[in-house]
Amino acid sequence: MLKPLRICACLLAAVLLSGMFPCQAAAVSTSATSAILMDVDSGRVLYEQNADAKMLIASTTKILTALVAIEEGDLSATVKVSREAAYTEGSSMYLKEGETVTLETLLYGLLLCSGNDAAVAVAEGVSGSVDKFVDQMNEKAKALGMNHSSFANPNGLDDEKHYSTARDMAILACAAVENETLVRIASTLQITIGGRTMTNHNKLLSYIDGCIGLKTGYTMAAGRTLVSCVERNGQRLVAVTLQDGNDWADHQALYEYGFAAYPISRAAVLGQPLETAEVLGGAEDTVPLVAAESFAWPLAEGEKLTTEVELDQPLTAPLSAGTRVGEAVFRLNGKEVGRVDLLCGAGVAPRLEPALHQLHLALPE
């Protein structure tokens, strides 16, 4: 048995050590069969669990349906509801055969009510048939780099040819949140449009500050599926959980972990000086180099970006402000993670003395 004095010494050592090493964000885990947490702007994966397993995805499919429809269709266009659409099984916005609805109304029914009927009506309205629309979905998925996904319908009903992975769905979500129209619809809590009042099924909009959507899903075979996005302090993260009976809590935990463990670090700000460079033959010896665009990267505690300037050629006066002269390359642990163009932050005239000397040489004696 430890003596009281030794116990006190151990406790004191623990207290001192805790002061020396700041608390790090606690590790996270989920109840999901497959899950991922990704930073939107960098694409960096902050957490993953079985993220490349091919899974049924249920109604999270409708993120892709909405994205294709918004890009290819006209929100104000009207769609006549077919019998096939009106009698589609599963969740519904309660369309009636023969009624006329705008594409925008259908998209609210798709993303808020998770209407399988809306998905079919959207597909028929945009592409003329479900089959043609599904072809467009698969083309879009391929273009986004969703290399382990296949889509057989616009609503997510179970099909052996309809599947994705948590990683692919995160890639889709990152693309979807760049579409302002999709975000506007997916983040709406409730709306009355086209004579219908619709309420969003996504409880995270109320549970998590900064949540901007995206989509819930469920079938008996797929279980509960959820894709969401949260924005805080200019940083956006997307979370995906597939076959997760505790998805609301898991998404909350993933975001608390992600924002705490991987805060965004801004390495370059549009229009702000990033480095200085030597100028040959100039009235000024150096010129500030400003970033042509902003660059940020999520960093864990102890990580640091390094910046290397790569000039196209040595800088020689005269130089005009705004001229592109090279790039700043950002690396993490020696691996390149991004680069931005560098511009002259000021004009630099030639040095006066050499210029007068050249003029003197050109004059007759």
Which position among 34, 62, 149, 164 bears the catalytic label?
A: 62
Picking from 68, 69, 64, 94, the residue whose alpha carbon sits closest to that of residue 81 is 94
Range from 2-6, 166-170, 284-288 carrying the lowest mean pLDDT: 2-6
pLDDT at 352: 83
Concerning whether 142 is annotated as a catalytic residue, the answer is no
pLDDT at 76 over 90: yes
What's the pLDDT band for 354 if we cut at 50, 70, 90? low
Q: Which two tokens stand for residue 71?
A: 């890009």
Helices in the chain by DSSP H: which ranges?
4-20, 62-72, 83-86, 103-111, 116-127, 130-144, 166-176, 180-186, 204-207, 247-261, 352-362
pLDDT band at 21 (very low <50, low <70, confident <90, very high): very low
pLDDT digits (tens, 9 = 90+) for 218-254: 999 999 999 999 999 999 999 999 999 999 999 999 9
The reported pLDDT for the residue numbered 27 is 78
pLDDT digits (tens, 9 = 90+) for 178-189: 999 999 999 999
Please tell me the distance from the alpha carbon of residue 119 to that of residue 89, in angstroms, as a whole number.
11
Residue, of 349 and 361, whose pLDDT is higher:
349
Q: State mean pLDDT over 74-89.
A: 97
Contact assessment for residue 126 and residue 73, using Cβ atoms and an 8 Å cutoff: yes
Q: pLDDT band for position 13 (50/70/90)?
A: very low
| Domains parsed from the chain with CATH numbers | 34-262 (3.40.710.10), 267-352 (2.60.410.10)
Q: Give the pLDDT confidence score for residue 16 in this predicted structure.
A: 35
pLDDT at res. 357: 57
């879009």: which residue's tokens? 140
Among 59, 82, 91, 127, the active-site one is: 59
pLDDT of residue 358: 61
Share of the chain above pLDDT 70, in %: 89
Of 82, 91, 114, 228, catalytic: 114
Q: pLDDT tier at 6 (50, 70, 90 boundaries)?
A: very low
For residue 310, give Cα distances in angstroms to 237, 268, 314, 339, 344. 31, 15, 10, 10, 13
DSSP per residue, 28-78: ---S-SEEEEEETTT--EEEEESTTS-B--GGGGHHHHHHHHHHHS-TT-E
pLDDT at 7 over 70: no
Q: Is 62 among the catalytic positions?
A: yes
Hey, how many other C-beta atoms are within 10 angstroms of the C-beta on 296? 20
**What is the C-alpha to C-alpha distance for residues 146 and 97, in angstroms, rounded to an integer?**
35
pLDDT, mean of residues 244-268: 97
Query: Taking residues 262-279, what's their average pLDDT?
Result: 96
pLDDT band at 1 (very low <50, low <70, confident <90, very high): very low
Q: At 210, is the pLDDT very low, low, confident or very high (cuts 50, 70, 90)?
A: very high
Mean per-residue pLDDT, 104-131: 98
Known active-site residue 114: yes
Q: Which residues pair with 275 in a beta bridge?
A: 289
27-62 pLDDT, tens digit per residue, is 789 999 999 999 999 999 999 999 999 999 999 999
Q: What average pLDDT is seen over the chain?
A: 91
The answer to whether residue 163 scores a pLDDT higher than 80 is yes
